[in-house]
């Protein structure tokens, strides 16, 4: 556990978890390459009509060149090559900052190109990659390194707290606690066997629904629990994301959120040092 007080170790954990997640999602994007053709859902001809930037703008011309089909497929392949350079040791002997900068840019392009179909894991991955880039500009800068870790930890805790807070305002999560069954009952995010199992087990549904709300809303308390108290929250988080991957098919959330856990542990251990003093 003391390893997590080492800033470099925290960033290494963050890097490998997020790279596993984005390599899967990048290969998934490539697998769906046809979606980016002009007669498909992600038609650049349609999406580019949002017109955020003037057509005379250089940025618009550059975006148009990189994001139109088939050039955009090249951007996705480039992203995969960058990931390989970062993952396989010994291939890239220079600073990792330029590679992370390229990853940041490809993430921003994918986000801009996808006005629909993105999810929270894509957003968390982008946040983590930007912080990894800032850290690698000068890994000796301990202030930036620590600020990055605190930023990631607080974004992650904000995400759990926000989800819990808004669930606590929903009738299906609190006064009529059947949200978990209703979600699992859908074909979009659920599973027929699980919904069938839960169908007449109101106690189990209530427990799953209320515990989701309670632990998510209380998750920021992980910062003051110290070790081994933090294991309760982080263990719950790991189980929660594993279940969501298995039952709901939300595979990328697992890696994106696990990438933030090293930062949470670091901040928790830092704070517990203050409590002891």
Partner 1 sequence: MNLSDIFTYFIVGCLGFWLLASAICQFNILRLETFFRRMDYFSLLPRWSFFAPNPGVTDYHLLYRDKDKENECGRWKELPIASKRTLLGAIWNPKKRSKKALSDAVQTIVRSSDKLKASEFKTSICYIALVNFISSFPRKEDGNTTQFMIMESYGHFPDKGPKMLFRSEFHKI
Question: Does 270 sit near partner 1 (CB under 8 A)?
Answer: no
What does DSSP assign to residue 117? S
With beta carbons less than 8 A apart as the criterion, state whether 108 and 126 touch.
yes
Nearest distance, CB of residue 41 and partner 1, angstroms: 5
Q: Which lies closer to partner 1 via its Cβ, residue 87 or residue 226?
A: 87
Q: Residue 228 belongs to what H/E stretch?
A: helix 222-248
Q: Which lies closer to partner 1 via its Cβ, residue 117 or residue 235?
A: 117
What's the chain's length in residues? 277
Q: Left (φ > 0), alpha (ψ -120 to 50) or beta: where does 227 sit?
A: beta
Neighbours of 64 (CB within 10 A): 15
State which of positions 14-33 bind partner 1 (CB under 8 A): 24-25, 27-29, 31-32
Question: Does 195 sit near partner 1 (CB under 8 A)?
Answer: yes
With beta carbons less than 8 A apart as the criterion, state whether 273 and 5 touch.
no
Angle made by CA atoms 8, 11, 12, in degrees to the nearest 5: 85
Question: Does 151 sit near partner 1 (CB under 8 A)?
Answer: yes
Nearest distance, CB of residue 82 and partner 1, angstroms: 18
Candidates 79-87, 93-101, 240-248, 258-266: pick the segment binding partner 1 (CB under 8 A): 240-248
Question: Does 238 sit near partner 1 (CB under 8 A)?
Answer: no
Nearest distance, CB of residue 264 and partner 1, angstroms: 15
Q: Left (φ > 0), alpha (ψ -120 to 50) or beta: where does 249 sit?
A: left
Phi first, then psi: give them for residue 26, nearest 5 degrees: -70, -40
Question: Does 210 sit near partner 1 (CB under 8 A)?
Answer: no
Q: Which lies closer to partner 1 via its Cβ, residue 120 or residue 229?
A: 120
Question: Does 263 sit near partner 1 (CB under 8 A)?
Answer: no
Q: Binding partner 1 by CB under 8 A: which of 5, 62, 77, 108? A: 108
State which of positions 61-100 bind partner 1 (CB under 8 A): none
């Amino acid at each position: 556990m003391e390893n997590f007080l080492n800033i470099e170790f925290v960033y290494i954990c963050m890097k490998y978890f997020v790279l596993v997640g984005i390599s899967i999602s990048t290969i998934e994007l490539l697998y769906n390459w046809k979606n980016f053709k002009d007669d498909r859902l992600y038609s650049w001809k349609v999406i580019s009509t949002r017109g955020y930037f003037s057509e005379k703008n250089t940025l618009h011309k550059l975006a148009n060149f990189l994001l139109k089909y088939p050039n955009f497929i090249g951007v996705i392949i480039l992203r995969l090559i960058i990931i390989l350079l970062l993952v396989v040791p010994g291939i890239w002997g220079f600073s990792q900052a330029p590679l992370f900068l390229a990853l940041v840019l490809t993430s921003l392009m994918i986000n801009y190109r996808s006005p629909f179909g993105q999810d929270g894991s894509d957003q968390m991955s982008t946040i983590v990659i930007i912080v990894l880039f800032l850290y690698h500009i000068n890994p000796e800068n301990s202030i930036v390194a620590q600020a990055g870790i605190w930023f990631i930890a607080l974004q992650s805790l904000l995400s759990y707290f926000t989800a819990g807070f808004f669930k606590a305002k929903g009738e299906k999560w609190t006064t009529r606690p059947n949200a978990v069954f209703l979600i699992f009952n859908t074909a979009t995010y659920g599973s027929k066997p699980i919904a069938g199992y839960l169908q007449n087990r109101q106690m189990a549904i209530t427990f799953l629904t209320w515990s989701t709300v309670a632990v998510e809303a209380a998750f920021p308390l992980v910062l003051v629990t110290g070790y081994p108290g933090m294991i309760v929250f982080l263990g719950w988080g790991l189980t929660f994301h594993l279940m969501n991957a298995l039952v709901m098919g939300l595979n990328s959330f697992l890696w994106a959120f696990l990438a933030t856990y090293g930062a949470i542990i670091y901040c928790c251990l830092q704070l517990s040092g203050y409590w002891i003093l």
